[in-house]
Structures are given as C-alpha cells and as structure tokens.
Amino acid sequence: MIEKSRVPVWLSAIAPIYISAITLGFVVFSRGEMDEQTRRHETIHFQQFLETLFVGFILLYIWDYLVGLFRHQNGVEAYHKIRAEREAYTHDDNEVYLFNRKRYAWIFAKDKSK
C-alpha cells in the first residue's frame, strides 16, 4: 500500500468520482494515510483481482460501468452499480468480513442503494 501518492489525484482528473484510494493489481495507491475502512475496501478489491485473474477484474469492472452508464446516464450512479464496488462498500465497515469472506462474493453483492 502506497500512501500519499499522486496516482489517485491524476485518475480523479479523468474519472467521474473523487478517488481517494485505488487498487491496481498488487498495489493500493492512496492520496493520504488510509483509515481501516479504506484498507478493508481496497483489500476486498485485491481479493476480487485475485479471483478474476487481474485482467478479468478490469474487463468486468469496465463492463459493469458501461452498462450502468447506459442505464442511468450518470457516471457516479454507474460507478456505484459496479458489482465489485457493491461488495466493497457493503462490507468495508465490517472488521471481520475479510476473515469470513467467501470467494466470488462480489457476484452476489447486494446494491446498498435499493
């Protein structure tokens, strides 16, 4: 995990959301020091990367975003509909989730906004 990185700043310039931290493969980049909730959120993404063999994660993430963008015509809402984000946001406040997490849990992640 790399804290105080400029990578989230640069990516925020082209993304529809403010990026405070991002997992890219084996590395997590954060604008500042990460709290435990952010660490859990990004660790969930790391597990998703492993389950989808990295390339699969990127392809599914982009696919989910584009489908969400088509359906909702809103980049922020599309981002929150991404399966990987639904799992991470739903469980990043649970201190024991990563110890009990079942593989491929992102497939069944519920949408918190419903």
pLDDT at 67 > cutoff 60: yes
Q: pLDDT grade, residue 43 (50/70/90)?
A: very high
pTM here?
0.90
Tell me the DSSP string of the chain: -B-S-SHHHHHHTTSSS--SEEEETTEEEESS---HHHHHHHHHHHHHHHHTTTHHHHHHHHHHHHHHHHHHS-HHHHHHT-HHHHHHHHHTT-TTHHHHPPTTGGGG---TT-
Mean pLDDT of 14-23: 94
pLDDT of residue 102 exceeding 90, the answer is yes
